[in-house]
Structure 1
Protein backbone atom coordinates (compact mmCIF):
# COMPACT_ATOMS: atom_id res chain seq x y z
CA UNK A 1 0.00 0.00 0.00
CA UNK A 2 1.14 3.48 -0.77
CA UNK A 3 1.32 6.44 1.53
CA UNK A 4 -1.67 8.06 -0.16
CA UNK A 5 -3.77 4.97 0.50
CA UNK A 6 -2.82 4.98 4.18
CA UNK A 7 -3.63 8.67 4.47
CA UNK A 8 -6.99 8.12 2.77
CA UNK A 9 -7.74 5.21 5.08
CA UNK A 10 -6.77 7.25 8.16
CA UNK A 11 -8.90 10.19 6.99
CA UNK A 12 -11.86 7.85 6.42
CA UNK A 13 -11.41 6.34 9.87
CA UNK A 14 -11.24 9.82 11.40
CA UNK A 15 -14.48 10.85 9.64
CA UNK A 16 -16.22 7.69 10.87
CA UNK A 17 -15.03 8.35 14.44
CA UNK A 18 -16.19 11.98 14.35
CA UNK A 19 -19.58 10.98 12.92
CA UNK A 20 -19.98 8.25 15.55
CA UNK A 21 -19.11 10.70 18.31
CA UNK A 22 -21.49 13.33 16.87
CA UNK A 23 -24.32 10.80 16.72
CA UNK A 24 -23.66 9.70 20.30
CA UNK A 25 -23.52 13.33 21.45
CA UNK A 26 -26.75 14.24 19.66
CA UNK A 27 -28.48 11.29 21.29
CA UNK A 28 -27.16 12.35 24.68
CA UNK A 29 -28.26 15.96 24.09
CA UNK A 30 -31.78 14.81 23.16
CA UNK A 31 -31.97 12.72 26.32
CA UNK A 32 -30.70 15.61 28.41
CA UNK A 33 -33.26 17.96 26.84
CA UNK A 34 -35.98 15.52 27.88
CA UNK A 35 -34.49 15.26 31.35
CA UNK A 36 -34.43 19.06 31.69
CA UNK A 37 -38.04 19.30 30.50
CA UNK A 38 -39.28 16.62 32.90
CA UNK A 39 -37.31 18.06 35.82
CA UNK A 40 -38.74 21.52 35.09
CA UNK A 41 -42.27 20.12 35.07
CA UNK A 42 -41.71 18.44 38.44
CA UNK A 43 -40.21 21.66 39.80
CA UNK A 44 -43.17 23.71 38.56
CA UNK A 45 -45.65 21.31 40.16
CA UNK A 46 -43.72 21.44 43.45
CA UNK A 47 -43.57 25.22 43.43
CA UNK A 48 -47.30 25.50 42.76
CA UNK A 49 -48.05 23.00 45.52
CA UNK A 50 -45.90 24.94 47.98
CA UNK A 51 -47.61 28.22 47.02
CA UNK A 52 -51.06 26.66 47.46
CA UNK A 53 -50.14 25.26 50.86
CA UNK A 54 -48.62 28.60 51.92
CA UNK A 55 -51.83 30.40 50.92
CA UNK A 56 -53.89 27.85 52.86
CA UNK A 57 -51.63 28.30 55.89
CA UNK A 58 -52.08 32.08 55.72
CA UNK A 59 -55.86 31.67 55.52
CA UNK A 60 -56.31 29.00 58.16
CA UNK A 61 -53.75 30.16 60.74
CA UNK A 62 -53.98 33.94 60.37
CA UNK A 63 -54.34 34.38 64.15
CA UNK A 64 -51.23 32.31 64.92
CA UNK A 65 -49.15 34.08 62.25
CA UNK A 66 -50.27 37.60 62.98
CA UNK A 67 -51.91 39.92 60.48
CA UNK A 68 -48.64 41.18 58.98
CA UNK A 69 -47.08 37.78 58.29
CA UNK A 70 -50.39 36.20 57.21
CA UNK A 71 -51.08 39.01 54.75
CA UNK A 72 -47.55 38.99 53.38
CA UNK A 73 -47.60 35.20 53.03
CA UNK A 74 -50.96 35.24 51.23
CA UNK A 75 -49.76 37.95 48.85
CA UNK A 76 -46.44 36.18 48.21
CA UNK A 77 -48.21 32.87 47.55
CA UNK A 78 -50.53 34.57 45.08
CA UNK A 79 -47.53 36.21 43.41
CA UNK A 80 -45.71 32.87 43.19
CA UNK A 81 -48.68 31.22 41.49
CA UNK A 82 -48.81 33.96 38.83
CA UNK A 83 -45.50 35.86 38.92
CA UNK A 84 -45.57 39.32 37.39
CA UNK A 85 -43.10 40.18 34.65
CA UNK A 86 -41.95 36.56 34.50
CA UNK A 87 -39.65 36.82 37.51
CA UNK A 88 -40.56 33.55 39.14
CA UNK A 89 -37.33 33.22 41.07
CA UNK A 90 -37.93 36.48 42.96
CA UNK A 91 -41.50 35.46 43.77
CA UNK A 92 -40.39 32.05 45.02
CA UNK A 93 -37.58 33.59 47.08
CA UNK A 94 -40.13 35.83 48.81
CA UNK A 95 -42.33 32.82 49.64
CA UNK A 96 -39.31 30.93 50.99
CA UNK A 97 -38.18 33.83 53.18
CA UNK A 98 -41.67 34.27 54.61
CA UNK A 99 -42.06 30.55 55.27
CA UNK A 100 -38.83 30.59 57.27
CA UNK A 101 -40.43 33.23 59.54
CA UNK A 102 -43.41 30.97 60.32
CA UNK A 103 -43.16 29.45 63.84
CA UNK A 104 -42.37 25.74 63.86
CA UNK A 105 -45.58 24.84 65.69
CA UNK A 106 -47.71 26.49 63.00
CA UNK A 107 -45.90 25.09 59.97
CA UNK A 108 -47.79 22.05 58.71
CA UNK A 109 -46.01 18.80 57.87
CA UNK A 110 -47.42 18.98 54.34
CA UNK A 111 -45.83 22.39 53.83
CA UNK A 112 -42.51 21.20 55.23
CA UNK A 113 -42.65 18.22 52.88
CA UNK A 114 -43.53 20.49 49.94
CA UNK A 115 -40.56 22.72 50.77
CA UNK A 116 -38.21 19.75 50.88
CA UNK A 117 -39.59 18.47 47.57
CA UNK A 118 -39.09 21.89 45.97
CA UNK A 119 -35.47 21.90 47.11
CA UNK A 120 -34.83 18.44 45.75
CA UNK A 121 -36.64 19.18 42.47
CA UNK A 122 -34.55 22.34 42.08
CA UNK A 123 -31.38 20.33 42.58
CA UNK A 124 -32.42 17.70 40.02
CA UNK A 125 -33.35 20.40 37.52
CA UNK A 126 -30.11 22.34 38.03
CA UNK A 127 -28.10 19.11 37.71
CA UNK A 128 -29.76 18.40 34.36
CA UNK A 129 -29.10 21.97 33.23
CA UNK A 130 -25.45 21.70 34.29
CA UNK A 131 -24.98 18.43 32.41
CA UNK A 132 -26.59 19.89 29.27
CA UNK A 133 -24.54 23.07 29.37
CA UNK A 134 -21.32 21.13 29.97
CA UNK A 135 -21.92 18.84 27.00
CA UNK A 136 -22.95 21.68 24.69
CA UNK A 137 -19.96 23.81 25.63
CA UNK A 138 -17.47 21.16 24.60
CA UNK A 139 -15.10 22.24 21.86
CA UNK A 140 -16.17 19.71 19.23
CA UNK A 141 -19.88 20.17 20.02
CA UNK A 142 -19.48 23.92 19.46
CA UNK A 143 -17.49 23.45 16.24
CA UNK A 144 -20.07 21.02 14.84
CA UNK A 145 -22.88 23.28 16.19
CA UNK A 146 -24.71 20.39 17.81
CA UNK A 147 -28.06 21.63 19.17
CA UNK A 148 -27.08 25.19 18.27
CA UNK A 149 -30.68 26.05 17.35
CA UNK A 150 -31.88 25.30 20.89
CA UNK A 151 -31.33 27.86 23.62
CA UNK A 152 -29.17 26.87 26.55
CA UNK A 153 -31.35 25.98 29.53
CA UNK A 154 -31.18 28.40 32.47
CA UNK A 155 -30.48 27.48 36.05
CA UNK A 156 -33.32 28.00 38.54
CA UNK A 157 -31.72 29.55 41.60
CA UNK A 158 -33.83 30.19 44.65
CA UNK A 159 -32.95 30.32 48.30
CA UNK A 160 -35.03 27.40 49.51
CA UNK A 161 -32.99 26.74 52.64
CA UNK A 162 -32.15 23.20 51.56
CA UNK A 163 -28.45 23.95 51.11
CA UNK A 164 -28.16 25.11 54.72
CA UNK A 165 -30.06 22.05 55.90
CA UNK A 166 -27.93 19.60 53.92
CA UNK A 167 -24.63 21.20 54.96
CA UNK A 168 -25.47 21.81 58.62
CA UNK A 169 -22.99 20.54 61.23
CA UNK A 170 -25.11 17.46 61.99
CA UNK A 171 -25.55 16.35 58.37
CA UNK A 172 -23.41 13.85 56.53
CA UNK A 173 -22.48 16.38 53.82
CA UNK A 174 -20.67 18.57 56.32
CA UNK A 175 -18.58 15.60 57.50
CA UNK A 176 -17.80 14.51 53.96
CA UNK A 177 -20.15 11.52 54.09
CA UNK A 178 -22.14 10.98 50.90
Structure 2
Protein backbone atom coordinates (compact mmCIF):
# COMPACT_ATOMS: atom_id res chain seq x y z
CA UNK A 1 0.00 0.00 0.00
CA UNK A 2 1.19 3.45 -0.81
CA UNK A 3 1.33 6.46 1.46
CA UNK A 4 -1.69 8.03 -0.26
CA UNK A 5 -3.78 4.93 0.36
CA UNK A 6 -2.83 4.93 4.04
CA UNK A 7 -3.74 8.59 4.35
CA UNK A 8 -7.12 7.95 2.72
CA UNK A 9 -7.71 5.02 5.04
CA UNK A 10 -6.82 7.08 8.12
CA UNK A 11 -9.03 9.95 6.93
CA UNK A 12 -11.94 7.56 6.35
CA UNK A 13 -11.53 6.08 9.82
CA UNK A 14 -11.42 9.57 11.38
CA UNK A 15 -14.55 10.63 9.51
CA UNK A 16 -16.33 7.44 10.58
CA UNK A 17 -15.32 7.96 14.22
CA UNK A 18 -16.48 11.58 14.07
CA UNK A 19 -19.83 10.55 12.57
CA UNK A 20 -20.33 7.89 15.23
CA UNK A 21 -19.46 10.37 17.98
CA UNK A 22 -21.83 12.97 16.49
CA UNK A 23 -24.68 10.48 16.32
CA UNK A 24 -24.07 9.30 19.88
CA UNK A 25 -23.88 12.89 21.15
CA UNK A 26 -27.09 13.91 19.37
CA UNK A 27 -28.90 10.94 20.88
CA UNK A 28 -27.52 11.83 24.31
CA UNK A 29 -28.57 15.48 23.92
CA UNK A 30 -32.08 14.44 22.89
CA UNK A 31 -32.39 12.12 25.89
CA UNK A 32 -31.09 14.79 28.23
CA UNK A 33 -33.61 17.25 26.79
CA UNK A 34 -36.40 14.79 27.54
CA UNK A 35 -35.01 14.24 31.02
CA UNK A 36 -34.99 18.00 31.66
CA UNK A 37 -38.55 18.32 30.37
CA UNK A 38 -39.86 15.46 32.52
CA UNK A 39 -38.01 16.69 35.60
CA UNK A 40 -39.47 20.16 35.09
CA UNK A 41 -42.98 18.72 34.88
CA UNK A 42 -42.45 16.84 38.15
CA UNK A 43 -41.01 19.98 39.77
CA UNK A 44 -43.98 22.05 38.61
CA UNK A 45 -46.39 19.45 40.01
CA UNK A 46 -44.56 19.39 43.37
CA UNK A 47 -44.55 23.18 43.58
CA UNK A 48 -48.25 23.31 42.74
CA UNK A 49 -49.03 20.70 45.39
CA UNK A 50 -47.09 22.67 48.02
CA UNK A 51 -48.92 25.87 47.05
CA UNK A 52 -52.30 24.13 47.30
CA UNK A 53 -51.47 22.74 50.72
CA UNK A 54 -50.25 26.17 51.88
CA UNK A 55 -53.47 27.80 50.67
CA UNK A 56 -55.51 25.15 52.48
CA UNK A 57 -53.47 25.75 55.63
CA UNK A 58 -54.12 29.49 55.41
CA UNK A 59 -57.87 28.88 55.01
CA UNK A 60 -58.33 26.16 57.61
CA UNK A 61 -55.93 27.27 60.35
CA UNK A 62 -56.21 31.05 60.16
CA UNK A 63 -57.09 31.21 63.86
CA UNK A 64 -53.80 29.52 64.84
CA UNK A 65 -51.66 31.36 62.28
CA UNK A 66 -52.99 34.83 62.91
CA UNK A 67 -54.69 37.07 60.40
CA UNK A 68 -51.52 38.62 58.97
CA UNK A 69 -49.67 35.33 58.43
CA UNK A 70 -52.76 33.60 57.05
CA UNK A 71 -53.41 36.41 54.58
CA UNK A 72 -49.75 36.53 53.54
CA UNK A 73 -49.64 32.76 53.14
CA UNK A 74 -52.80 32.76 51.01
CA UNK A 75 -51.43 35.56 48.82
CA UNK A 76 -48.04 33.84 48.45
CA UNK A 77 -49.70 30.53 47.56
CA UNK A 78 -51.80 32.25 44.90
CA UNK A 79 -48.74 34.08 43.56
CA UNK A 80 -46.72 30.87 43.35
CA UNK A 81 -49.47 29.16 41.35
CA UNK A 82 -49.55 31.97 38.78
CA UNK A 83 -46.41 34.08 39.24
CA UNK A 84 -46.44 37.64 37.91
CA UNK A 85 -44.00 38.38 35.10
CA UNK A 86 -42.92 34.75 35.02
CA UNK A 87 -40.70 35.03 38.12
CA UNK A 88 -41.54 31.68 39.63
CA UNK A 89 -38.41 31.51 41.77
CA UNK A 90 -39.20 34.76 43.62
CA UNK A 91 -42.79 33.64 44.23
CA UNK A 92 -41.64 30.26 45.55
CA UNK A 93 -39.04 31.92 47.78
CA UNK A 94 -41.73 34.16 49.27
CA UNK A 95 -43.97 31.16 49.93
CA UNK A 96 -41.07 29.27 51.49
CA UNK A 97 -40.20 32.18 53.80
CA UNK A 98 -43.80 32.43 54.98
CA UNK A 99 -44.04 28.67 55.52
CA UNK A 100 -40.94 28.98 57.70
CA UNK A 101 -42.86 31.37 59.96
CA UNK A 102 -45.68 28.89 60.58
CA UNK A 103 -45.57 27.48 64.13
CA UNK A 104 -44.42 23.86 64.23
CA UNK A 105 -47.67 22.59 65.76
CA UNK A 106 -49.77 24.19 63.03
CA UNK A 107 -47.81 22.71 60.13
CA UNK A 108 -49.54 19.56 58.81
CA UNK A 109 -47.31 16.57 57.96
CA UNK A 110 -48.53 16.67 54.34
CA UNK A 111 -46.95 20.08 53.95
CA UNK A 112 -43.64 18.83 55.35
CA UNK A 113 -43.78 15.92 52.90
CA UNK A 114 -44.61 18.29 50.03
CA UNK A 115 -41.61 20.47 50.96
CA UNK A 116 -39.30 17.44 50.84
CA UNK A 117 -40.78 16.44 47.47
CA UNK A 118 -40.12 19.96 46.15
CA UNK A 119 -36.51 19.69 47.31
CA UNK A 120 -36.06 16.30 45.64
CA UNK A 121 -37.74 17.41 42.42
CA UNK A 122 -35.58 20.54 42.34
CA UNK A 123 -32.45 18.45 42.84
CA UNK A 124 -33.39 16.04 40.01
CA UNK A 125 -34.22 18.92 37.70
CA UNK A 126 -30.99 20.80 38.46
CA UNK A 127 -28.99 17.59 37.99
CA UNK A 128 -30.53 17.12 34.54
CA UNK A 129 -29.79 20.76 33.69
CA UNK A 130 -26.19 20.36 34.88
CA UNK A 131 -25.65 17.26 32.74
CA UNK A 132 -27.17 18.93 29.67
CA UNK A 133 -25.12 22.09 30.09
CA UNK A 134 -21.93 20.09 30.63
CA UNK A 135 -22.42 18.11 27.42
CA UNK A 136 -23.32 21.19 25.40
CA UNK A 137 -20.29 23.11 26.66
CA UNK A 138 -17.76 20.56 25.48
CA UNK A 139 -15.49 21.96 22.83
CA UNK A 140 -16.29 19.47 20.06
CA UNK A 141 -20.04 19.80 20.72
CA UNK A 142 -19.82 23.58 20.39
CA UNK A 143 -17.59 23.44 17.30
CA UNK A 144 -19.97 20.97 15.66
CA UNK A 145 -22.86 23.29 16.66
CA UNK A 146 -24.93 20.42 18.00
CA UNK A 147 -28.18 21.80 19.43
CA UNK A 148 -26.89 25.34 18.87
CA UNK A 149 -30.38 26.68 18.16
CA UNK A 150 -31.87 25.40 21.40
CA UNK A 151 -31.50 27.58 24.48
CA UNK A 152 -29.54 26.22 27.41
CA UNK A 153 -31.86 25.07 30.19
CA UNK A 154 -31.85 27.25 33.32
CA UNK A 155 -31.29 26.07 36.85
CA UNK A 156 -34.19 26.43 39.29
CA UNK A 157 -32.80 27.87 42.49
CA UNK A 158 -35.00 28.57 45.45
CA UNK A 159 -34.20 28.81 49.13
CA UNK A 160 -36.43 26.03 50.38
CA UNK A 161 -34.17 24.87 53.21
CA UNK A 162 -34.00 21.36 51.78
CA UNK A 163 -30.33 21.33 50.80
CA UNK A 164 -29.17 20.25 54.26
CA UNK A 165 -31.99 17.71 54.55
CA UNK A 166 -31.30 16.11 51.16
CA UNK A 167 -27.52 15.98 51.58
CA UNK A 168 -27.65 14.52 55.09
CA UNK A 169 -26.98 17.75 56.95
CA UNK A 170 -23.81 19.75 57.44
CA UNK A 171 -20.61 17.76 57.54
CA UNK A 172 -18.55 17.85 60.71
CA UNK A 173 -15.20 17.53 58.96
CA UNK A 174 -14.00 14.64 61.16
Alignment of 1:1-178 (within 5 A): 1-166=1-166, 171=168, 174=171
Give, in whole Å, the separation in 2 of the partners of 1:39 and 1:32: 10
Say whether the 8 Å CA contact 2:55–2:77 is kept in structure 1: yes
By how many angstroms is 1:173 displaced? 6.3
> Which consecutive residues of structure 1, in runs of 5 or more, have no partner in the other structure?
none
Give, in whole Å, the separation in 1 of the partners of 2:76 and 2:29: 36
By how many angstroms is 1:68 displaced? 1.1
Give, in whole Å, the separation in 1 of the partners of 2:9 and 2:169: 54
Q: Across the two proteins, how many residue pairs are aligned to each other?
A: 173
What is the Cα-based RMSD across aligned positions, in Å?
Answer: 1.3
For each residue in 1:124-169, what CA deviation from the matched residue of structure 2 results, as whole angstroms up to 9, or x when unmatched? 00000000000001000001111111111000000110013345xx
> Which consecutive residues of structure 2, in runs of 5 or more, have no partner in the other structure?
none
By how many angstroms is 1:175 displaced? 5.4
Say whether the 8 Å CA contact 2:119–2:166 is kept in structure 1: no
Give, in whole Å, the separation in 1 of the partners of 2:44 and 2:117: 11
Q: TM-score if structure 1 supplies the norm length?
A: 0.94
Structure 1 runs (4+) deviating above 4 angstroms are none
Give, in whole Å, the separation in 2 of the partners of 1:163 and 1:172: 8
Say whether the 8 Å CA contact 1:166–1:173 is kept in structure 2: no
